[in-house]
Structure 1
């Protein structure tokens, strides 16, 4: 045994120091929505106080006034819409840039997530190799002692460099300094050192790629922030008056509905006829050729295809990990009404479909809530974001940026999961009832609808 010789003792000493290198690791890396309905219009005087015919006439006169004002507002809205149509080309260009920028951000986020996954695997591999090398300190001591015995002094850098350790072992083998009964152990040691060198080189390369992608992500987010600001500026400039008219029209429509309800007690068939006509229009199949052309128009102001016909085509609103699916137990005796995705801090959220923004802002325990009217009785709810970048009344396209995630969970439901990551909650509703969003998601990027 050579470990008892002075050279062997020195070898063991160096091996102990080498352990410092080996031990040192690399640098450290629901409940369904319940929206309280608006208060009803002030109750009208009781019909018992006047004759039925007089009451009906008074209500009809008031309804006529409301409808006349609605027609006036519709004319104003039509003129404003014509002005919006006049700047359609600018809007198309801006929308195309926004959607392209959002796609770039998601692509970079995908690359970053993949690089982080590879880095985690490589670092786990490095730790495994280091543990294997630590278990072979005795063999390292024997090799170093053997080198000293034949007049070779291992370089001081050996204590901190796996490359030098690998070279020393190879030198010992070439010089025949390794005893035959050590060959199997030395071959294993050689393989471990070679693997460690390879893994460390791969980690360095991945970190370079990750650094470049993080820089690219920062630049693209800055660009997108500017585009979003421009979109909202144009929205504010061109639709300020329209927003006011829409708000007034909504108020009048609520009032008119209440009045119609009162009149409907006397004439039951009026509302039923109107509902039947609306249902017939909604059920009319869309022309596939027109839908395809509409999908290619970034300046469109209505959905390109019916939401019910968009199954297997919609992109998820962000790149994330599914932590809760629709229909699974929610831990409170019920089931989940939507899908929850854990995301990166600061991840962008894009519209999963074409639709009108009908609500944007804080709501109860949901935190920031965005509701899109997708048409056909469908609504898409997104919750848990830190910041929403679109306004009520705005029409958004599939893939258009609409919000940004924060640095951690924002809603009560997200906090309840125990996750430290931001969590986006997604819910689809049909006629007010939650439905499984699963059938709508595209299986892969090639099948996704793009704005």
Structure 2
């Protein structure tokens, strides 16, 4: 074999060993008849499961400081509705952002885990090949030409072995380069996994803190709401009775806004502020006022401005086939368990409670004949007649999904065949919380897509 070939092989050996420094092939490999040892795969990133008392103390101290700051903020916001609302909006927006980052990081970790598993399986199946390649390369490094693999006793055997080795050289080189590439990729994946898991821990800590803050702020808001605008138990019972006796959402809204006191007053307030759409770009100054008690702008002019009500991944879009011969009337978003849900737009709550297969259903009158339906939550945190701002927390997701897209009634005004017999498709559990959002204009479902504000993190899964 030519010295150039040996040089190539030695270079490959160095590359392979550099890619996997944890691999060590015993010298016995160079001896004839020695069995190839088991070659270990790259070690996984160590699991730091030990208790870090310093970190725990720092977390406790940070939490205590956050609670003190929150109490001070609430004290400063006494009697100041705008200030409390601003704290709610800021905390809810920050929580949504962290939730979305968590979703992205968790998705990335799942991909990396799959990649690491595939690479580990592939390398595991080639342990023997890996040992043989390393053994051959190391033997040739120790026995330069005219050394040969079979140690022949005569020149003819030496020539034959050299010819055989020359024929195997290209294949050996390809195998060595492939192994080096796979081992290097596995090392990179595991390093990235460690970094992603560190980010995950940090994000979860931030989310826990914001969630606690949000819960306290929502509790304070509802306490003030009950003091300033108490909801009579009779009104709440009447709304629930109407919901039980009604077969579809269109009829539900019509009856609520004509028969139930708080809902009727909310509808009157929405009607009173309804105004024609102004030409040109809307004046967004009113959006900066967290103390407002009416919508900042007309709903048709809010296109491209409304935040998605929850962080997550859009599973189904408006107009897509629903699997039962119809089309989706809204959008469905997969969320994390316990994720906070915010109002998509300014408006008045005309219903908040259970309804048919929707589960917990929130209906907001946004004025101008527009209504927003939000369903799939475990708990709703606002009351009938309450005015809410776009981005203000109104509910909390549970830990089990409710697939409500197929419960939407079809036909003009929601009075198609399904509505006539009062039947709806059953709720299905998939193990992941899902939020359903639908926009309606004069009782008819409309595409909400033009209203959503564009975000870099928004993803759609078909």
- The TM-score, its normalising length taken from structure 1, stands at 0.64
The Cα shift of 1:3 comes to: 12
Residue 429 of structure 1 is aligned with which of 414, 420, 440? 440
Query: 192, 195, 203: which one pairs with 2:182?
Result: 192
On the 8 A contact 2:347/2:388 being kept in 1, the answer is yes
- Write out aligned runs for 1:201-240 (5 A): 201-240=191-230
As a proportion of its length, which structure holds more helix?
1
RMSD of aligned residue pairs (Cα, Å): 3.9
Residue of structure 2 equivalent to 1:440? 451
Partner deviation per Cα, 1:269-323 (whole Å, 9 max, x = no partner): xxxxxxxxx9998443459899422100001011000111111211111122222
Q: In the alignment, which of 320, 335, 345 is matched to residue 328 of structure 1?
A: 320
Residue 13 (str. 1) matches residue 58 (str. 2): no
Residue correspondence of structure 1 range 110-259 to structure 2 within 5 A: 110-142=100-132, 145=135, 182-240=172-230, 243-244=231-232
**Aligned CA distance change for structure 1 residues 200 and 445 (closer, same or farther; 3 Å):** closer
Structure 2 residue 349 is matched with structure 1 residue 357: yes
Alignment check: 8 A CA contact 2:283 2:297 kept: yes
Where does residue 12 of structure 2 map in the other structure?
none
Measured at CA, do residues 445 and 102 of structure 1 come closer, stay the same or move farther in structure 2, by a change above 3 Å?
A: farther
In structure 2, distance between residues paired with 1:340 and 1:6: 63
Aligned to 1:61: none
* In structure 1, C-alpha distance between the alignment counterparts of 2:354 and 2:336, rounded to whole Å: 21
Counterpart CA distance in 1 for 2:282 and 2:334 is: 37
Q: Which runs of 5+ in 1 are unaligned?
A: 28-86, 153-178, 259-277, 447-451
Distance (Å, rounded) in 2 between the aligned partners of 1:418 and 1:232? 31
Within 1, Cα distance between the matches of 2:341 and 2:318? 20
Q: Secondary structure at the match of 1:300?
A: coil
Aligned to 2:267: none
Residues of 2 paired with 1:91 and 1:279: CA distance?
24
2:82 alignment partner in structure 1: 92
User: Relative to structure 1, is the Cα distance of residues 291 and 236 closer, same or farther in structure 2, using a 3 angstrom cutoff?
Assistant: farther
**Distance across 1 between alignment mates of 2:284 and 2:404:** 40
Provide the residue aligned with 1:345 in structure 2.
337
Counterpart in the other structure of 2:358: 366
Alignment of 1:381-400 (within 5 A): 381-400=373-392
How far residue 411 of structure 1 moved from its aligned partner, in angstroms, is 5.3
Q: Supply the distance in 1 between the matched residues of 2:351 and 2:434 (Cα, whole angstroms).
A: 20
Q: Please list the CA deviations of residues 14-64 of structure 1 after superposition, one character each: whole Å capped at 9, or x if unmatched.
A: 33xx3xx4799999xxxxxxxxxxxxxxxxxxxxxxxxxxxxxxxxxxxxx
Give SS of 2:284's match.
helix
Q: CA deviation at 1:416?
A: 5.0
Where structure 2 has 5 or more consecutive residues not aligned to the other structure, the ranges are 1-25, 48-76, 143-167, 240-254, 260-269, 407-425, 458-462
Is 1:401 the equivalent of 2:425? no
Native 8 Å contact 1:11 1:145 kept in 2: no
Q: Distance in 1 between matches of 2:393 and 2:33?
A: 67
- Contact 2:29/2:35 (8 A) holds in 1: no
Which segment is superposed worse, 213-222 or 402-411?
402-411
Residues 89 and 299, structure 1, Cα contact 8 Å, conserved in 2: no
Is this contact kept in 2: 1:139–1:186, CA < 8 A? no
Deviation at 1:145, TM superposition (A): 4.3
TM-score (norm 2): 0.62
Aligned residue pairs: how many?
Answer: 330
Are the equivalent residues in 1 in contact too, given 2:38–2:128 (CA < 8 A)?
no
Going from structure 1 to structure 2, the CA distance change for 1:119 and 1:372 (only over 3 Å counts) comes to same
> Equivalent residue for 2:285?
293
Q: CA–CA distance in 2 between the matches of 1:339 and 1:246?
A: 34
SS in 2 for 1:14: coil
